Amino acid sequence: MSSKSYDNHLGIKGWALGGAWSPERYLYTLHRVTGLGILSYFLLHILVTTSRAFGPAQWNALLGDGGFLRHPVFVVGEFLVLAAFGFHAANGVRLILIELGFAVGRPIEPVYPYKTSLHASRFVTVVLMLAGAAFIVLGGLEFLRH
């Protein structure tokens, strides 16, 4: 490509911009964000459990009563990890079903107004998102009880 042309690739902005704004775009973006969040949590989790190697005092300083990680900020963070897991799992099941072609419908002759795989898969999407939301609400109630 000539250096005089303008590079109009959207980059990471393209996860949110440049489309027709179907709800599935936001599920796509949220799936990536929650995936990165869960991965970050795993790394943090390994670091925290590694503290046990430095003795019980170090462990208790982090996770004992009044420990650093018992601060409400980390408890909220833990709930966010649970919420991310609930969404990521439900959307993951949705993606497995769709990517194996089970919820996109058969090819049809396009007649305006067009019905696409978006419409065909919406029922599966709604059911699985409700299941994910129910998991998050029940998990949230558990957090409140403790």
* Contacting residues toward other proteins, per CB under 8 A: 1-2, 4-22, 24-25, 28-29, 31, 95, 98-101, 104-112, 114, 116-118, 120-121
**Would you give the end-to-end CA distance of the chain in angstroms?**
60
Nearest to 25 by CA among 3, 37, 10, 39: 10
Q: CB-wise, 69 or 118, nearer to other proteins?
A: 118
Shortest Cβ 45–other proteins spacing (Å): 25
Please give the DSSP secondary-structure letter assigned to residue 101. Answer: T
Shortest Cβ 33–other proteins spacing (Å): 12
The owner of tokens 């029940």 is 138
Shortest Cβ 129–other proteins spacing (Å): 14
What's the residue count for the chain? 146
Calpha distance 122→129 (Å, rounded): 10
The owner of tokens 């795993």 is 42
Q: CB-wise, 44 or 98, nearer to other proteins?
A: 98
Shortest Cβ 6–other proteins spacing (Å): 4
